[in-house]
Chain A
Amino acid sequence: MTVAARKIKKPLYAVIAACWLAAPFFLGNYQLDVLNNIAIYALLGLSLNIILGYAGMFHMGHGAFFAVGAYTTAVINTTWGVPVLWLLPLSGVAAGLFALVVAKPIIHLRGDYLLIVTIGMVEIVRIALVNNVFGITGGSNGIFGIDAPSLFGRTISGIVAPGDYFYLVTAFLAFTITVFYLLEHSRFGRALQFLNQDPVAAEGSGIDTARYRLAAFGIGAFWAGMVGNLYASKITFISPESFSFWESVVMFMIVILGGAGSIPGVLLGAFLIIGLPELFQGLQQYRLLLFGIVLVAMMIFRPQGILPPAPRSYGVAEDDGENGGQNSAQDGASGGEVRP
């Protein structure tokens, strides 16, 4: 990244954040609902980014964890009337525990095998929901009449007042970005990136790779479960249709297209994949076709995504950019051996 680009980054982010926060003053309910969807998918993308971006595990069944969280909220709220926001952490815990159980036997699988197994997992979850397991999921009809969240005595309906809901989901998004940023810049976040880049070297540096892989699944699923809670209380009705395999593909695309391992990348990915098609309503039916083409083209021309993660600095060395280029030039000149 050039110095100029780095200087412009902070003011740019501030402007974007200000526009986002001011949106309810300018936009109608329909547009606000689109923004709410963008925020929900951004949250899902960020939670998947822990597993797919940082740890590099090709997980295409994130919808399963989202579903577990949403159904936990729906079942408990409609059965016992527990307020939905109280169920936020519980939905996360349910999804997290579910992830720990299902991920435990599969985390050691190679990339493409893991991908196909997680697809199998999300399909099994969907079929289980359709078949009304335990007799509590309502089968293919789903669950109706979930309460909207209520805060300080005020009901925040995602349907009637998307502007109110907008600030609720935005607050949660801001919280998520903050803690995930801190996580990325910590021992834990680094460990995930180490095992992503070279699991043998990570293990050889003293990192318990199996445990960190599992922890990545646990945290990613915990967050997806909480987003499931927000989603269920937003539309007050959920059914297995909401958690089809394509939902998982969309989350996967958000992370891969935006930039795996990059928080700004994932946010941009959510905006492009969920928001952009709304701007071109006439092209709606070509939406998936275009995404497919973009996915192929990205892998060929820019596999790291639109906004890949920038190298982190630790306040000790600030002269990367140019120096790095020089060194690689030296490498070529001295004819250094190339790694196999």
Chain B
Amino acid sequence: MEQFFTQLTNGLAVGGIYALIALGYTMVYGILKLINFAHGDLFTIGAYLGLTLLASLALTDTVGAVAGLLVLAVMVMGLVGVIGILLDRAAYKPLRTSPRLSAVVSALGASIVFSNTIMLVYGPSPRVYPQGLLPTHVLDVFGLSIPVMRLVILTTSLVLMVGLYIFIQKTRTGTAIRAAAIDQDAARLMGINVDRVIMLVFFIGPALGGAAGLMVGLHYGQINFTMGWLYGLKAFTAAILGGIGNIPGAMVGGLLLGVIESMGAAYISNAWKDAIAFFVLILILIVRPTGLLGERVAEKI
């Protein structure tokens, strides 16, 4: 029973990270029907930028750990968001009217460019985050030990997700994003600046991905230039699981996948841990390609 709860909290923490990354996939897919293969690398960039800023600005020494990390998070999110916009400008915008699969290949190319740029800048070997910034103590809840960091990660993810959800549902800009996702042409006729909406989506998604990268760096301590690939694929699986294009779906899918994976690693086989997500991905695409929360759309002939 204790192992079950340990795995559950662990799964929820990892799942929160998957969910944050998945939001970027799902928002871009919602608007452009494009799988942004480079999204996982934006997550990696977030982790590396966090490391650089942490080391060079030493914010945590001057303003204290909590405030320092908050400022750091905002900076990382802003920078990765801008990189997201630049990515769209360079690799996707020229292909808006091309066949969808051209953009997918371009995304793959962009992913290769990002991961290799990181490697050339930071070197091929893994990098380590400074230790001792974060609370390492373990909470004791009814006899179950839960590391505080897991709760911090899960809470941060949930706050960001709920914030995004309220933004999308309640604000004018959020409504414009939803409208553009349903029908770009109609949205344009209604006076919505669709290009600006796309730009915004390419800011928000990568920003959330960057935040996830920072959290992974802070929590796990070690980062490497290829990690975005696996996190990205798993987050994409989470997006599909929840129903791609569907924002609450990405959140649910992320948390669910995190739990499935950590339970599978614990109760089935740790060696097959990384394969579990892929089995889930293949299964869901075969059985219910619209995901858990997605709707089925008939193709017109």
Residues of A within 8 A of B (CB): 58, 105-106, 109, 111-113, 115-117, 119-121, 123-124, 127-128, 130-131, 200, 245, 249, 252, 256, 285-286, 288-289, 291-296, 298-300, 303
Contact = CB atoms under 8 A, between A and B. Distances in A.
B101 A123 contact: no
Interface residues of B, number: 42
Interface stretch (B144-152, B156-164, B255-263, B275-283): B275-283
Chain A CB count within 10 A is highest, among B106, B110, B111, B236, for B106
B288 to A, nearest CB: 12
Contacts, number: 108
B194 to A, nearest CB: 19
Given A112-B35, A128-B275, A292 B281 contact: no
B120 A285 contact: yes
23 contacts: A105-B286, A106-B282, A113-B285, A116-B35, A119-B233, A123-B233, A127-B274, A127-B275, A131-B271, A286-B120, A289-B117, A289-B120, A292-B109, A292-B110, A292-B111, A292-B112, A292-B114, A293-B113, A295-B112, A296-B106, A299-B98, A299-B103, A299-B105
Nearest to B111: A292
Contacts of A288: 112, 116
Interface in B230-249: 233, 236, 240
A296 B281 CA distance: 27
Interface of B: 34-35, 90-91, 94-95, 98-106, 108-114, 116-117, 120, 229, 233, 236, 240, 269, 271-272, 274-275, 278-279, 281-282, 285-286, 289, 301
- Nearest 6 pairs of A and B residues by beta carbon: A295-B109, A292-B112, A292-B113, A120-B278, A296-B109, A289-B116
Contacts of A256: 105
Given A295-B105, A296-B91, A299-B109, A106 B100 contact: no
Contacts of B286: 105-106
A121 B105 CA distance: 19
A200 to B, nearest CB: 6
A205 B275 CA distance: 40
A279 to B, nearest CB: 20
Contacts of B112: 249, 288-289, 291-292, 295
Contacts of B99: 303
Contact of A295 (B108, B271, B272, B275): B108
A123 B229 CA distance: 12
Given A131-B269, A303-B102, 17 more contacts: A111-B104, A115-B35, A116-B233, A120-B233, A123-B233, A123-B274, A123-B278, A200-B301, A288-B116, A291-B112, A292-B111, A292-B113, A293-B113, A295-B106, A296-B106, A299-B103, A303-B99
A60 to B, nearest CB: 8
Given A286-B120, A303-B98, A120 B109 contact: no
Nearest to A102: B282
Contacts of B289: 109, 113
